[in-house]
Amino acid sequence: MIDFNADKTYHASGLYQEDGFRIAANEDGANKNQTLVFWGDNSAHYNADSKGNTLTNNYAGATLTLTKSGGGTFSFDSIDMGDGANSTSSGNVIFNFFFANGLTSQKTVTLDNIVGLQTFVFNLTNLSAVSWTPLTTTAKRSQVDNIVLDTTVPANPVPEPASLTLAGIGLMVLAASRFLKARADS
C-alpha cells in the first residue's frame, strides 16, 4: 500500500516513489519539479488524512500517473481520495486504466461533499499504468492516499479449467439421464 507517510512534512516534488511504484504528473514546464504536493503534519488544515500524509497535484487539472518502477503488471484494488483543499466540495475525477494487453478503460468517480478521504474500489488486474485527472474538484485538484496494489498478478493469467470440466460433466449426466428415460419409456 502506498501511504505517503515516509516524510511527514509539507513539500513539493516532481516524482514520488514508494514500494516499487512511481507517481508522476504530466507537467513539463519550468515547475516540473514541483508538480506534486505532500500535505503533512504542518499542513493539517489542508491534509485530508489527519494521521499521515496525502499527495495532491500542484497544478490545476494535472494528470497523475501510477506505474510500477521498472515496468511490469499490477492490480489496482482501491484508492482513498479527497478534494485538493480538504473542503466540503464535491467534484469528478476521471481514471484511465492501461492494461498489459494494450486495452484501456475509463471510469469517473464523484467525490462527496465531505471533509476527509473516501475510498473508491476498482479491483482491476493486469494493469501497466493507472492515471487520474481531477475534472471538477476545487481548483481541479485532488488528494490521494492509501493506494492498495498487488504485484503478484501473473503476466498471463490462465483461466481455471475446473469450472468447464464440471459443466461438461453436468451436461453429460443430463444427456445420459434423458437417454435412459427415453429408452425406458419406449
119: domain CATH number is 2.60.120.260
Q: What is the pLDDT of residues 14-59, one digit of tens each?
A: 888 999 999 988 865 545 566 788 877 666 678 888 788 898 887 7
User: Which pLDDT belongs to residue 124?
Assistant: 96
In a domain, 183, yes or no: no
- Among 134, 30, 37, which residue's Cα sits nearest to residue 82? 134
In a domain, 170, yes or no: no
Interval 160-177 mean pLDDT: 72
Contact 111, 93 (CB under 8 A): yes
Domain with 108, as residue range(s), is 11-155
In a domain, 121, yes or no: yes
Distance CA 117, CA 50 (A): 10
Rounded to two decimals, the pTM is 0.77
In a domain, 177, yes or no: no
In a domain, 50, yes or no: yes
In a domain, 186, yes or no: no
In a domain, 5, yes or no: no
Q: Which residue has the higher pLDDT, 4 or 179?
A: 4
In a domain, 169, yes or no: no
Beta strands of the chain (E only): which ranges?
11-13, 15-18, 21-25, 36-39, 54-57, 64-68, 74-83, 91-99, 104-111, 118-134, 142-150
How many domains in the chain?
1
Q: What is the pLDDT of residues 59-111, one digit of tens each?
A: 788 889 999 999 999 999 999 998 888 887 888 999 999 999 999 999 999 99
Residue 138 above 80 pLDDT? no
